[in-house]
Amino acid sequence: MDYSFGFVATLFGAACVAGFLGALLGVGGGIFIVPTLVLWFHLPMKIAIAASAVSVIATSNAGGSSYVEHRITNLRVSMFLEMFTTFGALSGAVLALYLNEHVIQLVFAAMLAYMAWAAFSTRNLDDERIASGAYANATPDRISKWLDLRGSYHDEAAKRDVDYVVSGAPIGAGISYVAGIASGLLGVGGGVLKVSAMNGYMNIPMKAAVGTSKLMIGVTAAVSSMLFFVAGLVHFIVVGPVAVGTTAGATAGTLVMNRLESRWLKWIFAALMAYLAFEMGRSGIRGARG
C-alpha cells in the first residue's frame, strides 16, 4: 500500500462522516468505515475491522467526553448497563465458536427491523413527553430505585432541563446483554441496540440515551481492539487518519446533537436501523444459501 496525500484525505473524509453520524446517534460508525476500507482501498477485511474497532474508541472518547462534560451522559446508567454489555461481548466471542453466524445475523436483522419500526412509530413521542414532563413522572422498578437510576440534562432544542426517572432496568439489561453479543459476534449493531433499549424500554430520553451509549461503546471496542492489537491486526498507518477523522467528526456531531429536535434524531436513527437490518438480513440469507 502506498501512503499518499489522496489516501489520507479520503480516509479522513470518510471517517469524519462516520464520526459525525456516530456522535449524533450514539453508535460507533463501523458500518461506514469497514466498507470504505474494503471497497475503496481494497484492504484485507480483518485489518479493516480492526481499524473500525479503534475508530469506535476515537468517536467514543471524543463524543463521550463532550456529553459527560455537558451532563447528557448518565454515568450511573452507563456503568449499570456496561456490566451486561461487556458480559454479552464475552459471551458473543465464545458463542462464535458454536453457533451458525448466518442464523444469528437473521435473528439480529429481525430484531433491528422491529426496533427501526418502533423508533419510527414513536418519532414524535420524545418531544411530547419532554414538553409534558412525563419522563420525570415514571415509576422506577426495584433495581432502578435501589441504584438511584435517574438523571437530568439541559435540552437546547426544547430550551429546558429534562428530568427523568429510569424504569424497566431488567429489560434494558437484557437488551444490553444482547447488544454485547452482537458486538462480540458480528462486530456491529451494539450502539444501535443500546440506544433502543434505553429510549424504548427504560424511560430515558433519546438524547440522554445517545450520550450514554456513546460512552458505553468505547469499553466494548477497547476490549476487541486490545485483542486485535496483540494479534498484529491494528495497522497504525491506516488507523491514524481514521482516528483523527472520527475524532473531528464526533466533535462536530456533539455540537449539533443537542440542538436538534428529538424527532429528527429518531428519523435518522430509524433509517440507520432499517439499513442495518436490510444489510444483516441480506448477508444472513446469502450465507445460509451457501
Partner 1 sequence: MKTQDNVYRVVHRVLHGGMIASTVLFVIGIGAALRRRQHVPLDAAWIRGHYRLSSIGHGIVTMDATTIMMIATALMILTPAARVLVSIWAFWVDRDRKFVVVTSIVALIMMATLVLAGAGLT
The least CB distance from residue 123 to partner 1, in Å, is 30
Q: How far is the CB of 79 from partner 1 (least distance, A)?
A: 5
Q: Quick check: 215 and 60 in contact, CB under 8 A?
A: yes
Q: To 10 degrees, what angle do helices 75-95 and 190-201 make? A: 130
Concatenating the DSSP letter of every residue in 119-188 gives HHHTTTHHHHHHHHTGGGGPPP-HHHHHHT-EEEEEETTTTEEEEEE---HHHHHHHHHHHHHHHHHHSS
Nearer to partner 1, 60 or 196 (CB): 60
Q: Which residue number, 3 or 275, has a Cβ lying nearer to partner 1?
A: 3
Q: Which is nearer to partner 1, 122 or 176 (CB)?
A: 176
List, as one string, the DSSP characters of 46-62: HHHHHHHHHHHHHHHHH
Which bin fits 261, alpha (ψ -120 to 50), beta or left (φ > 0)?
A: beta
C-beta closer to partner 1: residue 186 or 277: 186
> Smallest distance from the beta carbon of 232 to partner 1, in angstroms?
3
Spatial distance between the Cα atoms of 135 and 271, rounded to a whole number of angstroms: 25
| Assigned C-alpha cell, 24 | 449524533
CB of 54 to partner 1, least distance (A): 6
Q: Where on the chain is the footprint of partner 1 (CB under 8 A)?
A: 1-5, 8, 43-44, 47, 54, 57-58, 60-62, 64-65, 68-69, 71, 75-76, 79-80, 82-83, 86-87, 89-90, 93-94, 96-97, 146-148, 150-151, 215, 218-219, 221-223, 225-227, 229-237, 239-241, 243-244, 247
In angstroms, what CA-CA distances link 140 with 49, 89, 150, 168? 39, 27, 9, 7
Smallest gap from Cβ 96 to partner 1, in A, equals: 7
> In the bound complex, what is the minimum distance in angstroms from residue 126's beta carbon to partner 1?
22
Do residues 247 and 19 touch, judged by C-beta distance below 8 A? Answer: yes
For residue 105, the minimal CB distance to partner 1 (Å) is: 19
Q: What amino acid occupies position 162?
A: V
Residue 12 or 32 with smaller CB distance to partner 1: 12
Nearer to partner 1 by Cβ, of 232 and 290: the residue is: 232
| Residue (147 or 274) nearer to partner 1, CB | 147
Helix (H) or strand (E) holding 17: helix 5-25
C-alpha–C-alpha distance, residues 187 and 45, integer Å: 12
